[in-house]
Amino acid sequence: MTKFFSFTNILYIIAVSFIAGSYEALKSFPYLLWIEIPLFLFINVFAGTKSVRTKRRQYRVCSHGGVLLAIFCCSTAVSIVYHIILAFRTIPDDYKTFIWSAVFCVVTEAVVFWNGIICVYLTSSQLGLKLRVVGAVCGMIPVVNLIILKRIIKTVFREVEVESEREERNEKRYEETVCRTKYPLLLVHGVFFRDNRLFNYWGRIPKELELNGATVFYGNHESASSIEDCANQLAERIRKITHETGCEKVNVIAHSKGGLDMRYALENLGVSHLVASLTTINTPHRGCQFADYLLGEIPEKVKNKIASTYDKTLHKLGDESPDFMAAVSNLTASFCEELDKKMPQPDGVFCQSIGSVMAKASSGSFPLNLSYHLVRFFDGENDGLVCEKAFSWGEKYTLIRPVGDKGVSHADIIDLTRQNVEGFDVREFYINLVNDLKNRGL
């Protein structure tokens, strides 16, 4: 909030405060409107757009909205004090002046507020659905609405600051192409998701990698199927990429079950010579004990109903042969522990693993905030789905521990929710990850 109080913004606050309380002055000097109207329009169009470093229109508009909301808060406070004084001067002898002044003030402040809130609601990525809904629901509750509004303003200013710094950083290293690896990247998604043009499983990560020189491909395999079936699809995908591009090999970054799918492909399907490196992200190499528990406790009829509904739905959405039960069964500790023994690290492929853990249940978004306790009961520290002791594999293992009281969830580690995590820059993390592959000559 301290960055808001620049000289220009203070002038905006003074101007809006004056306009909001100018009804009495306008009665005597109506020609003031010729000054107030252009000034008010200027503030509502340009305030906060020139003071930010970003060149992206989205964040200029976002900054504009945040500045307007902050102006609204400050000028409203000034207007309330002014109208309290005005009430003592005009009531009861000239109550109409007070009423019309109050109406004029409310309309003025409402224009500033709604302009600001619409701008931030339309452009901010970090407000999220939850804060937007809370803001709308609590908007008419005194005191609570001010607390929520302060949080919205703080979130917006922080977002604009982060994106501006990121933009500057990318401009400075543009010529270095820090992510231009020898071999292209193949991003492999986990279970229950598909690669989709409209909603990228990897959030803002691929675009950031491409801005820094990377060439990115996607696995395009089934959302839910057995490890063997998904591995076959991925092996075919790798052959197709290397054949069509002539790149010889690919660097694979695989999340969750995708890491198991890729290990199976390397061990059993003859594509290890086409893979330069495999990086697994929060992959359950030794499975999840809570998955064994759930499959044992849920009635067969219920499991079949869930599986049937999922398979039919995903078939309509594009999966050729989804198999919910096979996917879930292949994630149990009993299955993965045996499979892990049969899939040693392949020769000639640089293999590493990365994992992260949450600090508490509320660190993750739904449904990870619910599953966290269950996984913790059976497996200990976890990311909301996979326990820490199941992550490690390969010649290098990196564990991302909680920063503050949040941590990094199974979804945060791939930027699925597009939410910035305090103390963990997920996009920069992947840039450093890929830059390390580049430095290794991969």
Q: Which one-letter amino acid corresponds to residue 26?
A: L
pLDDT computed for residue 112 by the predictor: 95
Q: State mean pLDDT over 263-271.
A: 95
pLDDT computed for residue 52 by the predictor: 78
Exposure b/e, 375-385, CB count within 10 A at least 16 = b: bbebbebbbbb
For residue 400, the SS3 value is strand
Q: State mean pLDDT over 346-367.
A: 88
CA atoms of 170 and 167, how far apart (whole Å): 5
Q: How far is residue 198 CA from its own chain's centroid? A: 15
**Terminal CA-to-CA distance of the chain, rounded, Å?**
44
pLDDT computed for residue 364 by the predictor: 75
Q: How far is residue 99 CA from its own chain's centroid? A: 46
- Would you tell me the crossing angle of helices 33-46 and 57-90 to the nearest 10 degrees? 140
User: Do the Cβ atoms of 190 and 258 come closer than 8 Å?
Assistant: yes
CB atoms within 10 A of CB 312: 11
For residue 403, the SS3 value is coil
Residue that has been written with the tokens 């994106």 in this structure: 163
The enclosing H or E element of 209 equals helix 205-211
Residue 420 DSSP label: P
In terms of Cα–Cα distance, which of 279, 296, 299 is closest to 288? 296
For residue 10, the SS3 value is helix
153-178 pLDDT, tens digit each: 999 999 999 999 999 999 999 899 99
CA atoms of 416 and 396, how far apart (whole Å): 24
- Give the pairing of strands 216-218 and 396-400: unpaired
User: Do the Cβ atoms of 218 and 195 come closer than 8 Å?
Assistant: yes
pLDDT computed for residue 1 by the predictor: 45
Percent of the chain with pLDDT over 70: 99
Q: In sequence order, which residues have a C-beta less than 8 Å from that of residue 306 and are 6 or more positions away?
A: 324
Q: How far is residue 91 CA from its own chain's centroid? A: 53
Q: Kindly indicate the confidence band of residue 118, based on its pLDDT and cuts at 50, 70 and 90.
A: very high
Domain locations in the chain?
2-169, 178-439
Q: Which residue has the higher pLDDT, 143 or 67?
A: 67
CA distances, 301 to each of 212, 291, 298, 305, 307 (Å): 50, 17, 8, 6, 10
CA distances, 240 to each of 160, 245, 249, 271, 279 (Å): 40, 8, 11, 11, 20
Q: State mean pLDDT over 49-62.
A: 85
Exposure b/e, 148-169, CB count within 10 A at least 16 = b: bbeebbebbbbbbbebbebbee
pLDDT computed for residue 318 by the predictor: 77
pLDDT computed for residue 4 by the predictor: 63
For residue 399, the SS3 value is strand
User: Do the Cβ atoms of 279 and 354 come closer than 8 Å?
Assistant: yes
> For the structural domain made of 178-439, what CATH number should be given?
3.40.50.1820
Whether 2 shows a pLDDT value over 60: the answer reads: no
